[in-house]
Each structure stands twice: as C-alpha cells, then as structure tokens.
Amino acid sequence: MIRRILQFSCRHPLPVIIATALVTLAFGWLASGLRVNPDVESLIPENAAVRQLMNRYRQGDLSGEYLVVAVHSPEPFQLAGLAAFGEALDKLEELPELEPGVTPFNLVTFEKRATRLAAVPMSAERRAPRDPAELESFRRRLAATPYAANLVVSRDLTVLAAFFPAAPIKDFASLMGRVRQITAPLERHYRCYLSGSIPFVERTGVYLSRDLLVLFGAGAGLILLFYFLAYRTLRGVLLPALVVLVGTVWSLGLMSVLGFTLTLLNVVTPPLLLTVGSSYGIHILNRYYRGPAGRGGDWLVGALEEVSGTILWASLISVIGFASLVVTDIRQVREFAVVTSFGTVSCALLALFFFPAVLSRLPPPGRRQARRVRAGFLSAMLLRLSRFVVRRPWPILGVLAAAALGFAFCLPYIQTDTDTIGYFPQGDRVVRDMYFLTGKLGGFDELNLTLEGEEGYFLRPEVLSQVDALEKNLAAIPDICYAVSFASYVRFLNQVASGQDRIPETRAPILLLSRMVRALAAEDATSPVAGLANEDFSRLTLSFRIYNSRTSRFINEQGLRDLLAEMKPIIASGLPAGAESELWGMGLQYLSLSDLLRANLVRSFGMSVLLVLGVAVLSFRSLRYGLLAIVPLVTGMMLNFLLMAVARIPLDMTTIMVSSVAVGMGVDDAIHFILSYRRRLDRLPGNPRRAVTATLLETGRPIFLTSLSIVAGLLVLVLASFRPIVYFGVLVVFTLAATCASTLIVLPALLGLLPARGRLTRSSPP
C-alpha cells in the first residue's frame, strides 16, 4: 500500500503538486476569516457548578464584563476636574456596549430631612458639582456614606472611581478605542486609570494576534536555519518547510470552518505543527540521502519506502497523544486536540504524497551531500555514545532510578494556578493601572454569599440581626476589602433616622426601610442595591470584594482557598436557623477550573499512555517491546514534573497539555529506534549490543535531528506575551529533550541487557 502511494506520487508529480496547491489556497482563504477570542472566562465549562450559580444569581442580561474608570489626584475635589470627569462618564454611558454604571455622582445615600428620610444622590441631579456649595456637599456625603468607601472613592479621598457593567461585547478593541478617546481629556486634570475585565480582554486580543505572527514567523525561521545547518542544500531547506507550512495553513483553515477561534490555549498550535511536521521531513531526508546512488522513480521509492512506516507510526502516536485531550471538560482544549490531530495527519499525508512528488522532479543527491549524512561530526559522536551506552548500562539505570525517586518526592509539591492577571506582562499599562487601583480601593474580585429562606424570612428583626453580625464577622477578615448587603443598608438607614448603628428591633421600621431599598433598586437595576434582595425577601446576597491584604494586589488561587477556609466556619456558625447558603463569584469559577485541570490531567494522560502502549504492543507484537517503547516517555514526564516542582511552575490551562503533547511527540523516536533495532537484531542474532550500536549509528542522527528541530521550533514560545505559554514552551522543550536523551541513552542500555530470549545479561564489550 505504501509503495503504491509513493509510486503514484513519483510517477504523477504534477497532478499531486497542483492538487496540493489548490487545497492549500482553499484552506488559506478560509483561514483568513479566523477570529480571535480573548475572553478567558469562556474557558470555564458551562456545566461547572459555580458557573451555573453565576448564571442563576447574576443580574439581567449582563455579560459579567465590567469597566472601571478612575481618576487620582492629591486633591481630586476640584470643580473643573470634576466637570471633565462627569462629562466623560456621561459619554461612556452613551456607548451601546456599556450599561448605566455606579459613579461618585449618582451613588445614592440617605439623609434625614425634618422627620423623614430622603434618598439623594451624592451630587445634585447625579452630575458633577457646579459651585463650591455643591462641591462641599458632594465631598461630605462621600465621606459620610460607609458603602461609598472602596467603591466610588478611596478611603484617603484621593481616588474617584466609576464602575460600568457591560452587555455582551462583540469587539473589545473597538470599545476600548472609544473609551480611551473619551477619557483622554481627563489627563489635563488627573492621572486617569482604566481597569476591569474589559481592558484585560482587549489586551489579551492584542497579545494573541501579535503572538500568532511572532511565534509562527520565529518558529519557521528557526526551522529553516536548522535545515540549512543540517543539510546545506536548497531542497533540504525548502521542501520540509513547505510541508509544515502547508499543513499549518490547512489546520488554521479547518479552525475557521468548524467555527473555532484563536484563544489563549490554541495560539501554540502553529509553532507546534511546524515542529511536528518537520520531524517527518527529517526522516525522509535522512533516508533520501542514505539511499543508493542512481536515478528514476524506482530509486526514490526504494529509498523512501522503508522510512514511510516510521512516519505512519509516528503520526498515529502523535494523534493519539493530542486526541486524548478530547476527554477534558474545557471546550478550547478539545478544540486544540481536534486541530492538532488534523494538522498532524495533514503533515504526514503531505510527507508521503507531496514530498516524494517534488523530489521525483529533482536530480538525486550528490556524493558529497550523502557523505555528510553518513560520516559527519554527528555520526562520530553517536559512535562514541553507543560505546558508552553498551559498556556502562547499570550507571545509566542508576541515574534513572534516582530521577524516579526525585519525581515521587516532588510530585505532591506541584501546585495549580489560574491567576489570569499573572498571565500578562507585568509592565503593561493595564496591569499597572490595576495594581494601583487595588492598592487604593482594594480588589475588584467579587465573592458573593447568597442566603435563602421562606418568603419574608429576612424581614424578621432577629434574622436580619444575625445576617448583619455574619457580615461584620466576615468583613473583619483582612482579605475582604469591601462588604455590602441589605442588612448593612438597613443599619445605615437606621443610623441616619435614629442615630443608632444597628438593625431595628421591631419589624415596622424594617418594612419601611425595605420599601425604600426596594424602590431604589426598581429605579436603577444596575445600582449596588439592586441584587441584594429579591422581591419577597426570601433571598439575600452579601457581596464582598477580596484581595491579598499583604501585597495589596489580587488574591491568587492559594490565597482564595485559604480565604474560603477562613470564611466557611464563620458562615456555618453565623447562619440563621432555617437558611441555606451558597458561595459564588468569578474567583470561584477559576477554582473550579483548577480542580478540573487536575482531574483532566490524570484522565487524558492515563488514556493516552494506555492507547500508546496498546499501539506499541500491537506494532511490535510483543508486550516487552511495547513497555520498552514508553520508557523514554515516562522518563521525560518524570523529569518534567520534577522541573515543575523545583522551578515552581504551576499547573494551569496550558501546562496541563504538556503531558499529552509529550505522549504524542515523545514516543515516536522510541518506536523508530525499536523498529530499526529489531531489523538489526535479525541480521545479528544473539548479539543485542552490536545491534544497539548499529541502530544508534543508523537512527541516532534522524532521532537527534528530529528532537533538535522540535526543541528549536518550540523554543520560540518563550517569546510569547503570556506567562503560561512561556511555561508551556519551556516544559515541552525540556520534556522532549529528556525524552530524546532517554531514547538515545536509557533505551539502548535496556536493549543491550535484553537479548532476544528476554533475560538480563551481563555487560561486555561488543
């Protein structure tokens, strides 16, 4: 079958080349419509329990995205500056993507006028103050209203902030362009800060688009340089590069056809396919230059037929590794699995059809080119390596055992981290703005506690007093920087009305105050009070904002887990009898994502290893050789996790894929080596060490060059803007380098100790 394919390609090269060009043009046109999806929240599965709670309790049709616009000055209460701030906020509210927000001017407070309470905005008519009297009243109200601090004004009264929730947004870049244009005049009066999820999503899109070009271009350039240094011929440079380029274009076109988008996870697909496909070219070129001297298609078919089996097995193993990710719960990871599997198959087909078709139109290689492959510097080094391996197998296996012990010791210390702020370059303006505002206002991460009871349950004085006490106890935790609830509103209203800072002891004043709160919520569905209670007061929501109080920055995953551990006993002991509670919020969504990452890692890696082992056993028709084929993979993965623990590289949405990528790309060389070894052993029966030496000399060069090309191609990932992609590149490069070293050192050592009958033998010179 393989021979017929090669013969067809060599005898009909022009139809194969033309068909390839037409298919590539079609996929290229489709790839031009590929869109960028920078929304990190979309990574969270829809069926995640916390996400379902978010959808249940979140107000209206809001997207969950928000914009923070803040100004800072040692003395921000200036009529001219506030007028400019108010004008900018009015223009922002007119943007169709933004909903009416909470601003220092429209936040409602309460005042006692004669014998009645009045709800009044912080500034007259919800606009900027126009004269000194209004300015003084505005400043006084902000300072006197407890729920304004750390919401629309900093406690030191140097920062004023406005929060705008958003409807679903189609074009974040366009929106942020208009926002920057509107807020630019504020720099004449203040230092202006833009923060919230919307600027971060917009910057994610910018970095993804830039990284796609940079990583693809740098990867292609490195691979071209590598081929030039390895073969020093034009065909040895351009043909393999053309194969992987075409395969990548096909994959990007498929993404567009299937409606996939470019995300934080699959931006690594192009450089990954460049390196996977390049390995097939190396195997073909190595055998091509080692082929017998002669001319014609039969010569070329004979030269390439033997290596075609290696390419088919390698592509099958790679597809198994990538496809194992389809069992994950994260949609974008499943999309990555589909695209990389398709790209791998595409590169293999191109290597078997397109590559031979082009080579058949070229003259055979010269003697000098063939000599460079057979007897170059690398071949001499491999000869020395083979002598070392067959003479000293036990020290090699001792080092392997030490690595296994280190892996077992360090494995429990590997942590997960889904801190999306930490993904960004820390010098980016949006990150610096966020850190400044976090230091002034506290964090923007919301954590909500929803309590449910029977109808009217939370209008009872004794129940509301318990809720108020619960809120106070939780707010005393240092990492909670802001707290508000229906109970705290009622307490503030009671303080304004009676001077007593507590919940009223009778039901009548609570009913009166609840009507005021409900009327305020009905007037403005986006106000802070709107989501604090439902219509019949059978549900209350206590809303908190959290941060890392020790660093005045965002709270990371471990900090959030510690905070929850501190909150839960307080909630359990302070919860009113008969009430049920639910904790929910954006931060908890990422905690659930972290738990999914751990489960998915075990499931996908376990499945891929079992499938690869099954394929290896079937291909060799031997359990012994099947187990030996995964030894380099196991070695590489042990060292990978060892590096993660030592370098404190966390398990996140990208590093979880390292295991499956290593399975897909790390077993190829071992299978290639064992196939060649068995052929050599048939020619040298009873002498496994001589077979190992011959195998290293024949296959060591393509294995080393394949791994080196993959390492070089994936090393460009360290140029990525996002830290997880950099980690992914470092870990894949390290793991595949370790796998290659294990294939060329550990595997031959084991094979040298295992003669054909399968028992260990003593080492002796070949």
Parse the chain into domains and list their residue ranges.
Answer: 2-40+233-413+591-753, 65-201, 429-584
pLDDT digits (tens, 9 = 90+) for 477-490: 999 999 999 998 88
Output the CA angle 389-646-402, nearest 5 degrees.
Answer: 35
**pLDDT attached to residue 94:** 93
Q: With cut-offs at 50, 70 and 90, classify the pLDDT of residue 757.
A: very low
Strand partners, 117: 112
DSSP 444-488: -EEEEEEEE-STTGGGSHHHHHHHHHHHHHHHTSTTEEEEE-HHH
How many Å apart are CA 639 and CA 625, to the nearest integer?
A: 22
Assign a CATH topology to domain 65-201.
Alpha-Beta Plaits (3.30.70)
Q: What is the DSSP letter of 418?
A: -
Q: Which fold has domain 2-40+233-413+591-753?
A: Multidrug efflux transporter AcrB transmembrane fold (1.20.1640)
More confident residue, 49 or 277: 277
For the CA atoms of 227, 233, 238, 239, what is the dihedral angle to 10 degrees? Answer: -90
pLDDT for position 759: 41
What pTM, to 2 d.p., does this model score? 0.73
Position with higher pLDDT, 1 vs 308:
308
Region 419-442: what's the mean pLDDT?
83
Close Cβ partners of 70 (under 8 Å, ≥ 6 residues apart): 159, 160, 161, 162, 192, 193, 195, 437, 440, 441
Q: Report the pLDDT value the prediction gives residue 760, as an integer from 0 to 100.
A: 41
Confidence of residue 374 (pLDDT cuts 50, 70, 90): low
Residue 117 has pLDDT above 50, yes or no: yes
Average confidence score pLDDT of the chain: 82
Among 56-60, 245-249, 332-336, 378-382, name the one with the lowest average pLDDT.
Answer: 56-60
Out of 240-244, 381-385, 707-711, the most confident range is: 240-244
**pLDDT band (50, 70, 90) for residue 130:** very high
Q: What is the pLDDT of residues 636-656, one digit of tens each?
A: 888 888 888 888 887 776 777
pLDDT tens-digit series, residues 689-720: 788 888 887 777 777 877 777 777 778 888 88
529-542 pLDDT per residue, tens: 767 888 888 999 99
Quick one: pLDDT at residue 612? 82
Distance CA 726, CA 715 (A): 9
Burial string for 285-297 (b: 16+ CB within 10 Å, else e) reads bbbbbbbeeeeeb
Q: Are 550 and 443 in contact (CB under 8 A)?
A: no
Give the lowest-confidence range in 47-61, 132-146, 601-615: 47-61
Confidence label for 331 from pLDDT (cuts 50, 70 and 90): confident
The reply to whether 2-40+233-413+591-753 and 65-201 are identical in fold is no
Cα 389 to Cα 631: distance, rounded to the nearest angstrom: 16
What's residue 766's pLDDT? 37
Stretch among 53-57, 121-125, 357-361, 756-760 having the lowest mean pLDDT:
756-760
Who wins on pLDDT, 122 or 421?
Answer: 122
Instruction: Give the tens place of pLDDT for each residue, 599-645.
Output: 777 787 788 888 888 888 887 888 888 888 888 888 888 888 888 88
pLDDT tens figures, 259-315:
888 876 777 777 777 777 777 777 777 777 765 544 445 667 776 777 777 788 778
Sequence-distant (6+) residues with CB within 8 A of 665 are: 275, 276, 279, 318, 321, 710, 736, 739
Confidence grade of residue 330 (pLDDT, cut at 50, 70, 90) = confident
Task: Using a pLDDT cut of 90, give the percent of the chain over it.
Answer: 23
For residues 316 and 304, what is the distance between their CA atoms, to the nearest angstrom? 18
Please tell me the predicted confidence (pLDDT) of residue 52.
58
Q: List, edge to edge, every strand of the sheet that includes 445-452.
A: 480-484, 539-546, 445-452, 580-584
Cα–Cα distance between 609 and 597 in angstroms, integer? 18
Average pLDDT over residues 676-681: 83
Token pair recorded at residue 495: 């303080």
Model confidence at 219: pLDDT above 70 = yes
Task: Name the token pair of 36.
Answer: 């960028």
Sorting pLDDT into bands at 50, 70 and 90, what band is 365?
Answer: low
